[in-house]
Amino acid sequence: MERAIQEEQYISHTPVSLLRAGIDTEDTMRAKFEKVIRDAQDSICKAIEDVDGKKFHQDAWTRADGGGGISRVLQDGNVWEKAGVNVSVVYGSMPPEAYRAATGNTELLKNKGDIGRVPFFAAGISSVMHPRNPHCPTMHFNYRYFETEEWNGIPGQWWFGGGTDITPSYIDEEDLKHFHGVYKQVCDRHDPTYYEKFKKWCDEYFLIKHRGERRGLGGIFFDDLNDKEPETILKFSTDAVNHVAEAYCPIIRKHMNDSFTAEEKQWQQLRRGRYVEFNLVYDRGTTFGLKTGGRIESILMSMPLTASWLYDNRPAPGSREADLLDACRNPRNWV
């Protein structure tokens, strides 16, 4: 009974304070963004629980060097084999290599000499959801805000990043039109150039270079975004994270009771293997978390419970599996 109560104590009831005590006030961008991601964690977890019928388990954690987070995981559910939604707000200082991982620029600061550790603040919400049924797509989203302070003569910086993307094992064009359509509408409300630009960015970012194929069938992705006023980008990020459930849950409800074969389940396992490859080799968030001493259970929450690597697997020409692989190699426009 005590554990059940603990698991239902969502962020609004937790005693853990993620804001920097005595430093941040409610009018700072740090505090505003934290409120957005905490509210989003609550609403998205509620939407997923309504579909699955089981509750998320919650862990509150603190980081020795500053900050902490809330990890929620639904494992062995009725619909999802594993689903997680993490919120983290961390701060302190990081080595230059972690700063390079955060920016994606491997050459940054290399010619600056011994600059010491970089003071930073990073807040974000991240999620990966792996359904049981191979006709239900995996979905990922991440929205984050990052600041560095001025140090050793190097100016401070700030930027937003994020996106929502979908990874089906089988193509259902109506599903993809719905998912991409929701995010095109979100983008169009804020900047008519956003969808085309961020869809292309998503296709490029999630390329598994050693395979020559994308992890999935895209969505939107953006990073290092600071070309407008912070409040303007905050409104866009808020709109985007608040449409995760609308974009994803109708697709899951449509397919969660579909019948499937052992061969279709095996194909899902192979596609999950591609998911693992991308996250461990290329993902900037994973790299940053590992280089800044992040909580390993939260960083690796994105991993599926099960995955598979079959030697030299090649789908039959003209099959649905071959169609999916072609779309991963040659990105398509869905809306």
Helix ranges (H only) for 22-169 are: 29-52, 96-103
The secondary structure of residue 133, as a DSSP letter, is S
Burial profile 187-210: b = 16 or more Cβ within 10 angstroms, e = fewer: beebeeebbeebbebbbebbbbee
The one-letter amino acid code at 17 reads: S
Helix ranges (H only) for the chain are: 2-7, 29-52, 96-103, 173-190, 194-205, 230-241, 244-255, 262-281, 284-291, 296-299, 320-329
Residue 60's nearest CA partner among 73, 47, 48 is 73
Contact by Cβ (8 Å): 195, 188: yes
**In this structure, what are the phi and psi dihedrals at residue 20, rounded to the nearest 5 degrees?**
-70, 110
CA distances from 89 to 109, 275, 281 (A): 25, 25, 24
Count the neighbouring beta carbons within 10 Å of the beta carbon of residue 234. 17
Count the neighbouring beta carbons within 10 Å of the beta carbon of residue 112. 11
Which residues are known to be catalytic? Answer: 140
**Residue found under tokens 């998912």:** 179
Residue length of the chain: 335
* CA contacts within 13 A on the Cβ side of 233: 21
Count the neighbouring beta carbons within 10 Å of the beta carbon of residue 177. 13
